[in-house]
Structure 1
């Protein structure tokens, strides 16, 4: 049990920088706060049944000129619309 918890913490520590970078990209692109960017990732995660890390990888891929994964595109568009409607 303890080894499993340690492994989960190790994975979380490795993935956190990717998520934080994606938050920064969203903040820059959408002129939103860090909390708003976190909420966007959380909402897209819930709506698409995709882990925040995988969404973050998709966001970062767009910075490298790669397309956003098709299944995430409508969810991010909806999140952007919601964010800017406030």
Structure 2
């Protein structure tokens, strides 16, 4: 069984009046996605649709872009080990 490679990062240069930007990777919960505009993390002013979809999510900004903004979408999940293996 093969595992599909997913690159958990997308970068866009916004066109004037653009408001929807898509990821090509799965995001399970909203807190797993970092959204940046011109290098600054934003935590409001947008909605997410398609959470937990294998096709990815859409990030829709409530105010359309003026054009030229750099939009970065990055999945960021904590890596934890739920089981503590003991040496025998």
Query: TM-score, structure 2 length as denominator?
Result: 0.25
Query: Which has the larger share of strand?
Result: 2
Which one has a bigger Cα radius of gyration? 2
Query: TM-score, structure 1 length as denominator?
Result: 0.25
Query: Which has the larger share of helix?
Result: 1
The higher relative CO (CA closer than 8 Å, separation ≥ 6) is in: 2
